[in-house]
């Protein structure tokens, strides 16, 4: 599981993240939602140790993740970035195999076990048939799956995803989030996913945290967080929330509702 306690990050005098406390349990998907500039990506970068934090603690069990070496941390926590600007010339196999880095020596020599784990990771995201292709030839949805497989090859109990669906079409959004959900529920990973799309968050997460101006404004089940009052005030837009037609989750629709006659 992943635990954030009183996390504060600032660029100069400005607090970008302010006193963030969150818990993501194993076997659970936590969706991080919020308007642009709320600090979702900053949170992913801070938790993965890429940018320094001013205050707080990020832990997994007893281990203080930010006190660990880069390599140790990469064995606990893997990040799936957006599939923009990834090197096009490597093959899918080479790319996913690089996920094994935290277990490799200076030279990056791989063992049969590393190759087996790479094969399993590719199978898990249904991309084994792409193995010999160059990443640059793939569609956005395929590239995103490759990056997920690379994170899985790191064999970590914690998975962070930074708006993985924003460049995908409807079909890939749904199938990608279904894979992510099953990674938490079947493989027992602790998954934190930053999402733009409120309805994807409602449909595929167990809990939702709403980040506004660097603070957690609300956290809880999708039904608790995705209320018309809260979402309207945060996004400065009137919204309606109705029951999903076939799933037991809320559905957020922008607009004031039907005009009254």
164 binds other proteins (CB under 8 A): no
> Left (φ > 0), alpha (ψ -120 to 50) or beta: where does 6 sit?
left
**Residue matched to tokens 């009254």:** 260
107 binds other proteins (CB under 8 A): yes
Interatomic CA distance for residues 28 and 152, integer angstroms: 16
Dihedral angle at the C-alpha atoms of 198, 199, 200, 204, nearest 10 degrees? 110
In the three-class reduction of DSSP (H, G, I as helix; E, B as strand; rest coil), residue 152 is classed as helix
Interatomic CA distance for residues 74 and 100, integer angstroms: 9
- Select the residue interacting with other proteins from 12, 14, 36, 85 (CB under 8 A): 85
192 binds other proteins (CB under 8 A): no
Interatomic CA distance for residues 87 and 57, integer angstroms: 33
45 binds other proteins (CB under 8 A): yes
104 binds other proteins (CB under 8 A): yes
119 binds other proteins (CB under 8 A): no
Selected range binding other proteins among 102-110, 111-119, 120-128, 176-184, rule: CB under 8 A? 102-110
Smaller CB distance to other proteins: residue 76 or 222?
A: 76
* Helices marked H in the chain: 40-47, 70-73, 92-97, 112-124, 140-153, 170-185, 198-204, 222-225, 228-235
Cβ-based neighbours of 129, under 8 Å, separated by 6 or more: none
Smaller CB distance to other proteins: residue 158 or 241?
A: 158
Least Å distance, CB 103 to other proteins, is 8
Selected range binding other proteins among 32-40, 97-105, 196-204, 234-242, rule: CB under 8 A? 97-105
Smaller CB distance to other proteins: residue 79 or 195?
A: 79
- Select the residue interacting with other proteins from 37, 136, 238, 257 (CB under 8 A): 136
Q: Kindly determine how many residues on this chain lie close enough to bind other proteins according to the rule CB under 8 A.
A: 32
**For residues 6 and 46, is the Cβ–Cβ distance under 8 A?**
no
**For residues 191 and 159, is the Cβ–Cβ distance under 8 A?**
yes
79 binds other proteins (CB under 8 A): yes
Least Å distance, CB 79 to other proteins, is 4
Smaller CB distance to other proteins: residue 80 or 177?
A: 80
Parallel, antiparallel, or unpaired: how do β-strands 239-243 and 215-220 relate?
unpaired
Selected range binding other proteins among 18-26, 31-39, 83-91, 221-229, rule: CB under 8 A? 83-91
Would you tell me which residues interact with other proteins (CB under 8 A)?
A: 45, 48-50, 52, 69-71, 73-75, 78-79, 81, 85-90, 94, 98-99, 101-102, 104, 106-108, 136, 150, 154
């Amino acid at each position: 599981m992943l635990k954030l306690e009183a996390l504060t990050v600032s660029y100069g005098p400005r607090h970008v993240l302010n006193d963030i406390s969150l818990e993501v349990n194993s076997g659970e998907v936590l969706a991080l939602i919020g308007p642009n500039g709320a600090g979702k990506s900053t949170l992913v970068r801070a938790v993965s140790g890429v940018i320094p934090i001013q205050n707080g603690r990020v832990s997994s069990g007893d281990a203080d993740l930010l006190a660990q070496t880069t390599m140790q941390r990469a064995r606990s926590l893997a990040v799936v970035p957006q599939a923009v600007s990834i090197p096009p010339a490597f093959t899918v196999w080479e790319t996913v195999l690089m996920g094994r880095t935290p277990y490799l020596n200076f030279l990056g020599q791989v063992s049969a076990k590393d190759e087996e784990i790479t094969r399993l990771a590719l199978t898990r995201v249904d991309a084994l048939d792409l193995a010999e292709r160059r990443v640059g030839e793939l569609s956005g949805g395929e590239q995103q799956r490759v990056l997920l497989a690379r994170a899985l090859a790191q064999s970590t109990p914690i998975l962070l995803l930074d708006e993985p669906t924003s460049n995908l079409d409807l079909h890939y959004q749904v199938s990608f989030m279904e894979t992510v959900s099953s990674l938490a529920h079947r493989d027992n990973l602790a998954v934190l996913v930053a999402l733009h799309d409120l309805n994807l968050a409602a449909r595929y997460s167990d809990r939702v945290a709403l980040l506004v101006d660097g603070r957690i404004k609300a956290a809880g089940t999708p039904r608790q967080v995705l209320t018309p009052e809260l979402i309207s005030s945060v996004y400065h837009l009137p919204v309606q929330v109705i029951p999903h037609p076939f799933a037991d989750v809320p559905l957020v629709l922008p607009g004031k509702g039907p005009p009254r006659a």
